[in-house]
């Protein structure tokens, strides 16, 4: 018989996870401030608990969950940043083993091989999308890894196709650049990242139009999902109101 922990114990576990989530190895003081604002705006409960409850209430065995990640830095095109992919693989593992879901990780084309290796390291077998769809969720220790387009129109088409064909029950993003009000994703230093960023905001937009929940993780303000805190980011990082490209719409994700 499986004994479920009490809500008091679950809350205590989540509070501890939230504390760990706020640790910045680079001692960025903005992280706990963003955390406090995000928590206050979402019912003042541990955010890890809220995240888990949202997934538990929506995701059924066999469901597809899309996970957007990948942050390419010019000059490191075949590797990109490491924090998003590692988190995405761990999330995929939890979804596959815990909920018997079919996670599909979406990244820039050049870092698909990197994500596949990260999945192996996390104990998740990386599959193609057709393999994931054919796979038995009953013994699932696998996640799909697919390229998502950088070109906006192709991204629109692929977002619609994924939503039509896979009918995901949730769409997630972890450390994924989101566009500011002018429609372009920016580096924190203000430079336009449009030409090398997969347009995951199209997947989020399509999900919202269809009433599919979107959940996102970020740590500075230019990541998908941080639009919830746009005003807070502007207050904490005044430079984020402007950018260094012709759009002039700032560095923070909006929406």
Please work out the total of residues on this chain that contact Zn ion, with binding judged by CB under 5 A. 3
Cβ proximity to Zn ion: between 62 and 182 the closer is 182
Closest to Zn ion by CB, 210 vs 244, is 244
State in angstroms the smallest separation of the CB of 176 from Zn ion.
18
Nearest-approach distance from CB 248 to Zn ion, in angstroms? 6
Residue 182, classified by CB atoms within 10 Å of its CB into exposed (0-12), middle (13-18) or buried (19+), is middle
Residue 202 neighbours by CB under 8 Å, 6+ apart:
152, 155, 156, 158, 159
- Strands 125-127 and 64-68 turn out to be unpaired
Rounded distance, CA 236 to CA 93, Å? 34
Contacts of 72 (CB under 8 A, 6+ apart): 80, 81, 108, 110, 111, 196, 197
Tokens of 234: 């502007």
Residue 47 or 243 having the CB closest to Zn ion: 243
User: Closest separation between CB of residue 192 and Zn ion, Å?
Assistant: 5
Q: Is the Cβ–Cβ distance between 46 and 53 less than 8 Å? A: no
Give the angle 140-198-247 at the CA atoms, nearest 5°: 150
The residue among 142 and 252 lying less far from Zn ion, judged by its C-beta, is: 252
- In the bound state with Zn ion, the residue whose beta carbon lies nearer, of 102 and 186, is 186
188 contacts Zn ion (rule: CB under 5 A): no
At closest approach, how far in Å is the CB of 190 from Zn ion? 7
- Choice between 86 and 247, CB closer to Zn ion: 247
Q: Which of residues 216-245 bind Zn ion (CB under 5 A)?
A: 243, 245
What sign has the CA pseudo-torsion 136, 122, 119, 56?
positive
Would you count residue 247 as binding Zn ion (CB under 5 A)? yes
The residues that touch Zn ion, with contacts defined as CB under 5 A, are: 243, 245, 247
């Amino acid at each position: 018989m499986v004994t479920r922990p009490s809500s008091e114990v679950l809350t205590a576990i989540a509070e501890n996870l939230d504390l760990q989530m706020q640790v910045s190895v680079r001692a960025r003081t903005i992280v706990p401030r963003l955390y406090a604002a995000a928590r206050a705006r979402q019912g003042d409960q541990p955010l890890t608990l809220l995240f888990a409850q949202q997934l538990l209430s929506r995701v059924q065995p066999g469901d597809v969950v899309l996970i957007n990640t990948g942050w390419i830095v010019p000059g490191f095109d075949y590797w990109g940043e490491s924090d998003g992919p590692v988190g995405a693989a761990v999330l995929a593992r939890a979804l596959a083993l815990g909920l018997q879901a079919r996670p599909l990780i979406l990244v820039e084309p050049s870092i698909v091989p990197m994500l596949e290796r990260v999945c192996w390291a996390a104990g998740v077998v990386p599959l193609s999308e057709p393999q994931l769809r054919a796979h038995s969720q009953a013994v699932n220790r696998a996640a799909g890894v697919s390229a998502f387009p950088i070109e906006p129109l192709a991204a629109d088409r692929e977002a619609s196709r994924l939503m039509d064909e896979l009918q995901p029950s949730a769409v997630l993003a972890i450390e994924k650049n989101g566009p500011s009000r002018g429609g372009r994703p920016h580096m924190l230093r203000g430079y336009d990242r449009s030409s090398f960023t997969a347009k995951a905001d199209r997947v989020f937009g399509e999900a919202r139009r269809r009433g599919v929940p979107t959940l996102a993780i970020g740590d500075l303000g230019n990541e998908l999902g941080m639009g919830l805190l746009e005003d807070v980011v502007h207050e904490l990082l005044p430079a984020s109101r402007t950018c260094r490209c012709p759009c002039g719409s700032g560095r923070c994700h909006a929406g």
